[in-house]
Amino acid sequence: MYDNTIACKIARQYNEIPLTDFAGVTAAADVEKLNLNWRESDLPECERTKHVHRLHPYMGKFIPQLVEIFLRKYQPSLVYDPFCGSGTTLVEANVLGIVSGVTSQISSLIL
């Protein structure tokens, strides 16, 4: 059954300005209320491929800003990334001073 509530929420967020002040996210932030619905004009590629995230193409990686938001929100002391992929989570954790040496990867496409 189709739930129109979700569609209405997405339509409302589409007309709002999405979050771009990533450093402003704190542990008190309500993730449900953050508008993470970015368009190319809101977060151009030159901004979302900061640090080393542009070294190689991999379609399965997510943008570093998304990782930064959740790391700032939950403030872990250690990050374990069981699906390391291109290392976005580990790089962003390192930038924020979080221990990020624990990882693994099972996909041969990444190795």
pLDDT in tens, 44-102: 877 877 777 677 666 667 888 999 999 999 999 999 888 777 788 888 999 999 987 77
93 burial (CB, 10 Å; 0-12 / 13-18 / 19+) is buried
What does the alpha-carbon distance between residue 100 and residue 49 come to, in Å, rounded to a whole number? Answer: 20
Q: Considering just the CA atoms, what is the radius of gyration of the chain in Å?
A: 16
What amino acid is encoded at 39 in this protein? R
